[in-house]
């Protein structure tokens, strides 16, 4: 019988495999659709008639569900960094199936992600799952976590009301800061909802507790806010810049929020905590390297298309970056 941490690990890795594969399936579907109609990057929607694109969408849905359930069984310090494995899966499959060559630096990025992930898995804390939603509510009412929520919401309001009108179109940290802070609260509330569902399925009904519906409401609000500002970031800035910065900020803040609320590191010695932090930094480094090599590959691909199409290089490169194919 698998322990909770082992179950969370299996689900987190499965999620990465599903999500990483879904990018390739969707892109192959987009390429097939482009051969029979207008490319998605130019406003076409023929990909909606392509079965392979829908297979990719369903695969991604399974991945997101697995990721959601993983948070029920394992601490965020274990689950969240393992999301980087989806980038490795995507990069390796793209190398073999889409002829998007993985450069030497990209290989080193993959190695960093794998080494960092192994370090995190080995030293991950064993989470004590709460026995009721009321217990989770008590954890969320801790002074330390309330301070975190108050600081986060204050920063979000400052970014929305003051920074966004002033420099939202020129500073990528404005939109990503909002996404990441709201994202950390999303994970905490979704984890609470997931635990409530798990307990209910085990026969300990949590549906009638008002705390359960409070966490559902918070999760819904945070997800909507997160998606709105992530879309703004992707629409305004280069995707190759947004993705690694968002991953670093979101992952860091989620781990901090979980450590405060669920006391993930309680009972661990300094050596284990230091090893987890080193593993986390190694994963972040690998992620940044992988995204940097992707950007270089897209730029060189844009130059090749520019030579064939007669468009300006900047126009072709922007089309590539904003297309759903990437």
19-51 pLDDT tens trace: 989 888 888 888 888 888 777 656 677 878 889
Structure tokens at 137: 């509510």
Q: Maximum CA pair distance of the chain?
A: 66
Strand ranges (E), 61-145: none
Q: Taking the C-alpha atoms of 248, 279, 125 and 200 in order, what is their torsion angle to the nearest 10 degrees?
A: 40
pLDDT of residue 315: 44
The candidate with the shortest Cα–Cα distance to 3, out of 126, 120, 119, is 126
Residue with tokens 């494995």: 85
CA-based torsion, 18, 20, 21, 23: positive or negative: positive
Give the residues of the chain that fall short of pLDDT 70: 40-43, 239-240, 294-326
pLDDT in tens, 101-121: 778 888 898 899 889 988 988
Are 260 and 142 in contact by the 8 Å Cβ rule? The answer is yes
Question: Going by C-beta distance under 8 Å and a sequence separation of 6 or more, which residues neighbour residue 256?
Answer: 148, 184
Q: How far out from the chain centre does Cα 207 lie?
A: 28
Nearest 5°: the CA angle 211, 68, 151 is 55
- Collapsed DSSP state (helix, strand, coil) of residue 228: helix
pLDDT at 138: 95
Predicted pLDDT at 322: 39
Q: What does pLDDT average to over the chain? A: 84
Can you read off the two tokens belonging to residue 150? 């108050």
* Rounded CA Rg of the chain: 21
Q: What is the pLDDT of residue 325?
A: 44
């Amino acid at each position: 019988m698998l322990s909770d941490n082992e179950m969370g690990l299996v689900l987190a890795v499965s999620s990465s495999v599903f999500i990483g594969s879904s990018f390739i399936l969707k892109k192959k579907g987009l390429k097939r659709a482009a051969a029979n109609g207008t490319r998605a990057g130019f406003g076409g929607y023929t990909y909606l008639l392509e079965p392979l694109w829908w297979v990719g969408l369903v695969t991604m849905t399974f991945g997101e569900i697995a990721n959601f359930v993983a948070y029920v069984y394992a601490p965020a310090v274990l689950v969240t960094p393992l999301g980087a494995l989806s980038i490795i899966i995507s990069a390796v499959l793209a190398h073999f199936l889409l002829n998007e060559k993985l450069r030497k630096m990209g290989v080193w990025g993959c190695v960093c992600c794998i080494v960092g992930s192994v370090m995190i898995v080995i030293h991950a804390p064993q989470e004590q799952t709460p026995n009721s939603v009321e217990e989770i509510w008590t954890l969320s009412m801790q002074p330390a976590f309330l301070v975190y929520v108050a600081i986060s919401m204050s920063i979000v309001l400052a970014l929305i009301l003051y920074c966004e009108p002033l420099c939202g179109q020129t500073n990528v940290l404005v939109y990503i800061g909002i996404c990441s802070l709201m994202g950390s609260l999303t994970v905490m509330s979704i984890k609470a909802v997931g635990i409530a569902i798990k307990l209910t399925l085990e026969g300990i009904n949590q549906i009638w507790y008002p705390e359960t519906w409070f966490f559902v409401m918070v999760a819904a609000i945070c997800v909507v806010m997160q998606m709105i500002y992530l879309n703004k970031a992707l629409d305004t800035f280069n995707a190759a810049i947004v993705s690694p910065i968002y991953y670093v900020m979101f992952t860091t803040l989620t781990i901090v929020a979980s450590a405060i609320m669920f006391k993930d590191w309680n009972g661990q010695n300094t050596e284990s905590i230091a090893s987890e932090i080193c593993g986390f930094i190694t994963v972040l480094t690998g992620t940044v390297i992988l995204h940097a090599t992707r950007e270089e590959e897209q730029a060189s691909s844009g130059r090749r298309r520019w030579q064939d199409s007669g468009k300006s290089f900047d126009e072709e490169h922007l089309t590539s970056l904003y297309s759903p194919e990437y």
